[in-house]
Amino acid sequence: MEIPPNKFSWTKWQWNEKVLYEEVQNFVQKIVENAEMYYDNRLYFEMKELWKNLSEVIAQRKGGYGKGKMMERAQGEDSIRNFVEEMVNEINSQGYGAFELNVTTGYFSIKRAGKERIKNVVCFVKNEHVASISKYANIEKSLFDNPPYNKLKKRTRPPRWLQLREKDLGRYPNNVEYDLKEDKDVIFQLCKKACENFPR
């Protein structure tokens, strides 16, 4: 919606602008209901899209207010992206087929190149160090009972930033937490194994 910048803050709206306020509320509600990635959840949408974007604008206007936290978050995302890119290049050089980096709002993933469906092999969420492995990679849960994989902490469900509907949670049966500094080699071996088994 085209809203004047000085009206973005709810506190600057006047009582006689009730109609515009209601239009905005209905507009936001419609976005949430029509987009499965928001889990039909207004708060999730506002924190993920509206508030996050506004905080970035405020930081720029105030010459760096809040800049520290934002830079820290950005560096975290960049380091995960670089990590995944390095793995993709290394896996491709070892002849397991063609893979590429896939970038979405909530995660980076290793993707089978040229595939539109059943494409993501391993997903890495941006705001926490969790790797979620596709069921089509044919990784057995028992793998994580043995070294070196048993040092990775298992999760029972995929992280919500993977943006899955409840009925699709089973598409990622293996979810592990990792330390980007300590577990690089283990995660690489895991991703290599997943890519090796992933259907062409």
Residues of the chain scoring pLDDT < 70: 1-16, 36-40, 47-77
Q: Is 158 exposed, middle or buried (0-12, 13-18, 19+ CB in 10 A)?
A: buried
Same domain, 47 and 78: no
Same domain, 110 and 48: no
Residue 75 is predicted with a pLDDT of: 41
Same domain, 82 and 42: no
Q: Which two tokens stand for residue 96?
A: 């397991």
> Helix, strand, or coil here: 104?
coil
Count of the separate structural domains present in the chain: 2
Same domain, 39 and 80: no
Residue 48 belongs to domain spanning: 15-65
Residue 4 is predicted with a pLDDT of: 63
